[in-house]
């Protein structure tokens, strides 16, 4: 039996789309669409229309959650390597669906998608999927809008993007299931495609500094504690992870190969090793075209195996689980 309908919280429409401060947000939107000397323009095409799901999107924009208390997964990570990896790495972000497949072999993804899109109404509470330290809170209109990135230890990191509000700060330790912000659709894609694109949290998972799919393909272990149908945290005791041991020599090489002189100088100036390593990893994930090694090298001393560790990044009081947008 389903419980109470999920709650939403009131959020300012400008914050939903990430439009404060307005001038800086619009400048970033222009860069996302047109590119700049370091950032190639995004790649669009008719196949990109697959991301638009008005049947799912419009009710969510109106604040209507599913009665079965399930979060809709509208996009999964792309499991297929680009046909010409070097060219694709240097190219702009692609929303085309040309060589993409999700972990099931279906096409609930697109070419450059490395995360999971959880579609929910704006103003939904977003929680930490595991204990950790908040490392990054930022607004990047061309790279996932407002986001919170957490270092969970044992080489594991997550980022929750397209938020309307962030309720945590860098350096803050958060508990599993603690609210870190409210959902929205901040970013250039939310502005361009509302109401046909569903408001969602774009959720990235990284292991040892590299993007990974938390869902399990054949002969794999899911990073979700409840397998390929993640559920919220219900308060049971959990072991603690060990702090991630970063390979600072590799981190230094990564930073030295950054093509953006301002970003390189800022990363080099971060005094704390763990913070410097995390931010370098974070920028490489969002903007691989800025780094000479792209997404090739792990950044930790120890290689960590996949294991069940994460919970759904929404509260148990609001949701019970997930449903796939292409469920048959």
User: Is the same domain home to 41 and 127?
Assistant: yes
Coil, strand or helix at 136 = strand
User: Is the same domain home to 154 and 257?
Assistant: no
Task: State the first-to-last Cα distance of the chain, in angstroms, to the nearest integer.
Answer: 21
Whether the Cβ atoms of residue 200 and residue 118 lie closer than 8 Å to each other: yes
- 214-223: average pLDDT: 96
Q: Residue 151: which CATH number? A: 2.70.70.10
Q: Which of 21-30, 66-75, 269-278 has the weakest average pLDDT?
A: 21-30
Whether the Cβ atoms of residue 254 and residue 219 lie closer than 8 Å to each other: no
Helix (H) or strand (E) holding 140: strand 132-140
User: Is the same domain home to 181 and 293?
Assistant: no
Residue 34 lies in a domain: yes
Nearest CA-CA partner of 286 in 159, 107, 126, 164:
159
Q: What pLDDT, on a 0 to 100 scale, did the predictor assign at position 89?
A: 46
Residue 158 lies in a domain: yes
User: Is the same domain home to 152 and 38?
Assistant: yes
Q: What pLDDT, on a 0 to 100 scale, did the predictor assign at position 226?
A: 97
Q: What pLDDT, on a 0 to 100 scale, did the predictor assign at position 110?
A: 87
User: Is the same domain home to 288 and 261?
Assistant: yes
Q: Above 90 in pLDDT, residue 83?
A: no
User: Is the same domain home to 211 and 250?
Assistant: no
The proportion of the chain whose per-residue pLDDT surpasses 70, expressed as a percent, equals: 94
pLDDT tens, position by position, 228-281: 999 999 999 888 899 999 999 999 999 999 999 999 999 999 999 999 999 999
Residue 62's domain spans which residues?
13-241+306-324
Nearest CA-CA partner of 65 in 310, 312, 321, 311:
321
User: Is the same domain home to 310 and 263?
Assistant: no
**Which residue did the predictor score with more confidence, 287 or 126?**
126
User: Is the same domain home to 158 and 291?
Assistant: no
What mean pLDDT, rounded, does the chain reach? 91
Q: Above 70 in pLDDT, residue 85?
A: no
**Which residue did the predictor score with more confidence, 96 or 172?**
172
User: Is the same domain home to 230 and 274?
Assistant: no
User: Is the same domain home to 88 and 24?
Assistant: yes
Alpha helices, DSSP H, located in the chain: 13-16, 22-34, 54-61, 85-90, 188-193, 248-256, 261-268, 273-286
Q: Above 80 in pLDDT, residue 81?
A: no
Rounded to the nearest 5 percent, the helix, strand and coil shares of the chain are: 25, 20, 55
Q: What pLDDT, on a 0 to 100 scale, did the predictor assign at position 27?
A: 87
Coil, strand or helix at 203 = strand
Residue 231 lies in a domain: yes
pLDDT tens, position by position, 102-156: 999 999 998 889 999 999 999 999 999 999 999 999 999 888 999 999 999 999 9
User: Is the same domain home to 204 and 73?
Assistant: yes
Whether the Cβ atoms of residue 161 and residue 201 lie closer than 8 Å to each other: yes
Q: What pLDDT, on a 0 to 100 scale, did the predictor assign at position 17?
A: 95
Give the CA distances from residue 212 to residues 86, 99, 203, 231, 276, in Å, rounded to whole numbers and listed in that order. Answer: 19, 18, 11, 19, 21
Nearest CA-CA partner of 88 in 118, 120, 121, 43:
43
- 35-42: average pLDDT: 71
Q: For residue 169, count CB atoms less than 10 angstroms from its CB and return exposed for 0-12, middle for 13-18, buried for 19 or more.
A: exposed
pLDDT tens, position by position, 304-328: 999 999 999 999 999 999 999 998 6
Name the domain count of the chain: 2
Q: What pLDDT, on a 0 to 100 scale, did the predictor assign at position 120?
A: 97
The first and second tokens of residue 161, run together, are 């993007």
Q: Which of 163-172, 200-209, 319-328 has the weakest average pLDDT?
A: 319-328
User: Is the same domain home to 109 and 221?
Assistant: yes
């Amino acid at each position: 039996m389903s419980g109470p309908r999920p709650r939403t919280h009131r959020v300012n429409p400008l914050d939903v789309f990430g439009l404060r401060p307005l001038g800086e947000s619009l400048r970033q939107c222009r860069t996302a669409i047109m590119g700049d000397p370091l950032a190639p323009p995004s790649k669009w095409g008719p196949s990109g229309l697959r991301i638009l799901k008005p049947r799912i999107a419009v009710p969510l924009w109106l604040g209507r959650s599913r009665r079965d208390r399930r979060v809709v997964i509208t996009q999964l990570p792309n499991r297929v390597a680009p046909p010409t990896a070097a060219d694709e790495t240097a190219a702009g972000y692609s929303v085309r669906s040309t060589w993409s497949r999700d972990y099931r072999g279906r096409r609930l993804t697109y070419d450059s998608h490395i995360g999971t899109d959880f579609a929910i109404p704006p103003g939904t509470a977003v929680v930490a999927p595991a204990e950790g330290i908040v490392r990054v809170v930022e607004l990047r209109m061309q790279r996932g809008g407002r986001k919170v990135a957490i270092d969970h230890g044992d080489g594991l990191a997550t980022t929750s993007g397209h938020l309307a509000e962030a309720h945590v700060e860098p350096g803050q330790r958060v508990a599993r299931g603690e609210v870190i912000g409210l959902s929205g659709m901040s970013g250039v894609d939310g502005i361009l495609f509302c109401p046909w694109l569903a408001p969602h949290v774009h959720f990235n998972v990284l292991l040892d500094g590299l993007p990974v799919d938390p869902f399990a393909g054949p002969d794999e272990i899911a990073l979700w504690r409840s397998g390929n149908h993640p559920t919220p945290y219900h308060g049971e005791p959990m072991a603690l992870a060990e702090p991630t041991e970063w390979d600072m020599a590799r981190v230094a090489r990564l930073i030295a190969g950054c093509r953006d002189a301002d970003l390189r100088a800022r990363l080099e100036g971060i005094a704390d090793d763990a913070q410097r390593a995390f931010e370098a990893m974070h920028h490489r994930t969002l903007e691989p075209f800025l780094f000479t090694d792209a997404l090739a090298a792990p950044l930790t001393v120890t290689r960590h195996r996949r294991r069940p560790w994460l919970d759904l990044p929404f509260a148990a009081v609001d949701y019970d689980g997930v449903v796939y947008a292409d469920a048959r």
